[in-house]
Amino acid sequence: MARRRVCKHRYMTPQLSAVALEAWNILEQHLGTWSFCVRMESELSGLDEREEPSEPSEASTRRSSAPRVITVPLLFRRLLDRSTGYTNDSLVSHLVESGAIAQSHIEAAFRAVDRGKFLPNLEEGTSEVYDDAPVRFGHFHMSQPSLYAEAVANLDLSPGLSFLNVGSGTGYLSSIVSEITGPALHHGVDLYSDLLDHAQDMLRVQNKEYIQFFEVNAHDLDLVMCPRYDRMYLGACAGGQSKRLLALLQVGGVAVGPFETSSGQYIRRVLRTSETTFDVKNLKQVSFGRLLPSEEPLRRPSFVLPSPPWTPSTHAAHSKGFRNAVREVLLSTTRANSPAHIVPRDIFVKHVFGFMHPRWFSSATEDPFRERLDGADEQPMDDEGTYDEDSARLQVLRTLAMFARQQRDLEAQESDDAMRNRIQSLFRMLNPNLGHMAHTAPDSDEDTEEPPERNPNPNAEGESSGGYPTAG
């Protein structure tokens, strides 16, 4: 078994975690890879080490002959240390122990879906995929498992609820959600065909073909003709007009995802209370990429996600307009003055209503959306204030620079103190009475007391010459 080193988990506040993640994103974008090389023995003193292999390989023998270093972003490794183990069960156990998962049905869903299988071409023995951290291979990306766990908990899932995953990615989150909702209406949209093909392959392995993924930009969805969903997750940040995607949410439905606000990005829980109003709760501050705009922004969105056919058992799940239309048709079969009274009712129920589009009798409201944040007064949902992302990123960089300067000054002070102590010890070795001379150099520009003048008579007994002892 290869040698492994597992970092002991150190808990952080969500605010500090968000700042560190944001800072790391900035450094990756603007400064390239920032690595600190340190000796393994000195920097891993707080790590839990597993057993050495009984017969080390030739490669490990070669490595042991050279000084061992870690070329990782050490500062952020310490801030965001989320190593949890090397299996999906160890990851889920960590999420339970840390409090990220507090409900048994959510724990069962996470244990049933192996995170490591959702990244293609993963090397055998790779453990990073089971860390409580985001992973990315090209555009194959999965967010932090604890964030998914919090999202699933706030979605308040139950069997039979419909679900839309905007930015469905590898299908990992959709697979977890389906463990709770079961074979209900379940759609996902994403931009990359190879990513969607991989996700569909993962669904086939799990026998979950009822989940459907579509290659389409979310801004190209027809908000009038697409079905409405009980639950919705956004895998990228929605700001401005992107928030109109909440029109796909049923009244009484819940959406969770990153949203732009006047103070930055937040994971939000959004409850639709009416056609135009939403109750909003900020869960945690994050840093996500934004939803990409449509490549044809001037063209009317025309992509329609499939709606389930009408049946008597699904009647309550359809829109109010559709239900009213079905009711009027059925009532007309009982009226003698209606042409429909000669048609048996079963004809409509079995052969007509199922071919009617559920959104034919509905329309998307053009009124602006409004939100109530934590019970406060309503305000326009599109109003994001004066938040400037570039200024926020610059502020984070300035904060990091301040921390770096403070650390440098501290290390320099410690180095000066150590050198001063060594000089003092040296003088004491030469003459115990002269240890104070190590501190005679002034530490500031203030005036200091002049040293005593030299004795003009070097032979006078008991006197010193030039401040130094005379030879015996």
Top pLDDT among 333 and 58 is at: 333
* 95 belongs to a structural domain: yes
Tokens of 188: 């996902």
Please determine, for residue 62, whether its predicted confidence score (pLDDT) is greater than 50.
Answer: no
Q: Which domain holds residue 167?
A: 75-283
Please determine, for residue 471, whether its predicted confidence score (pLDDT) is greater than 70.
Answer: no
Residues 127 and 267 in one domain: yes
* 290 belongs to a structural domain: no
Tokens of 426: 């040296």
Tokens of 160: 């039979």
Please determine, for residue 230, whether its predicted confidence score (pLDDT) is greater than 90.
Answer: yes
Asked whether the beta carbons of 184 and 162 are under 8 A apart, the reply is: yes
Match 């005679």 to its residue by tokens.
440
Query: What is each CA distance from 380 to 123, 274, 424, in whole angstroms?
Result: 48, 14, 69
- Quick check: is 143 catalytic? yes
Residues 102 and 220 in one domain: yes
3-class secondary structure for 312-352?
Answer: HHHHHHCCHHHHHHHHHHHHHCCCCCCHHHHCCHHHHHHHC
pLDDT over 70 percentage in the chain: 67
Q: Give me the pLDDT at residue 455, please.
A: 52
Please determine, for residue 203, whether its predicted confidence score (pLDDT) is greater than 90.
Answer: yes
Q: Give me the pLDDT at residue 325, please.
A: 85
* 49 belongs to a structural domain: no
CATH number, position 234: 3.40.50.150
Residues 224 and 87 in one domain: yes
Asked whether the beta carbons of 399 and 20 are under 8 A apart, the reply is: no
Helix or strand (DSSP H, E) at 48? strand 48-49
Q: Tell me whether residue 80 is exposed, middle or buried, using C-beta atoms within 10 angstroms of its C-beta: 0 to 12, 13 to 18, 19 or more.
A: buried
Least confident stretch, 59-68, 136-145, 295-304, 441-450: 59-68
* Residue that finishes a domain, picked among 386, 402, 418: 402
* Residue that finishes a domain, picked among 402, 424, 453: 402
* 21 belongs to a structural domain: no
* Residue that finishes a domain, picked among 364, 381, 402: 402
Residues 138 and 210 in one domain: yes
Residues 82 and 221 in one domain: yes
Cα of 314 vs its chain's centroid, Å: 36
Asked whether the beta carbons of 48 and 8 are under 8 A apart, the reply is: yes
Match 């930009």 to its residue by tokens.
217
One of 83, 143, 307, 319 is an active-site residue; which one? 143
Q: Give me the pLDDT at residue 392, please.
A: 60
DSSP string computed for 234-294: ESSBB-GGGGGGGGGEEEEEEEEEEEEETTEEEEEEEEE-SSSEEEEEEEEE---PBPPPP
Top pLDDT among 158 and 65 is at: 158
Rounded Cα distance, 11 and 161, in Å: 34
Residues 123 and 254 in one domain: yes
177 pLDDT tier (thresholds 50, 70, 90): very high
- SS3 of residue 145 by DSSP: helix
* 247 belongs to a structural domain: yes
Please determine, for residue 163, whether its predicted confidence score (pLDDT) is greater than 60.
Answer: yes
Please determine, for residue 386, whether its predicted confidence score (pLDDT) is greater than 90.
Answer: no
Please give the angle made by the CA atoms of 329, 223 and 289, to the nearest 5 degrees: 155
Total number of domains constituting the chain: 2
Residues 143 and 246 in one domain: yes
Closest C-alpha to 175, from 145, 136, 139, 202? 202
Match 């192996």 to its residue by tokens.
114
Asked whether the beta carbons of 443 and 417 are under 8 A apart, the reply is: no
Rounded Cα distance, 163 and 152, in Å: 12
Please give the angle made by the CA atoms of 304, 120 and 258, to the nearest 5 degrees: 50
Least confident stretch, 200-204, 288-292, 451-455: 451-455
Q: Tell me whether residue 79 is exposed, middle or buried, using C-beta atoms within 10 angstroms of its C-beta: 0 to 12, 13 to 18, 19 or more.
A: middle
Residues 124 and 273 in one domain: yes
Residues 217 and 325 in one domain: no
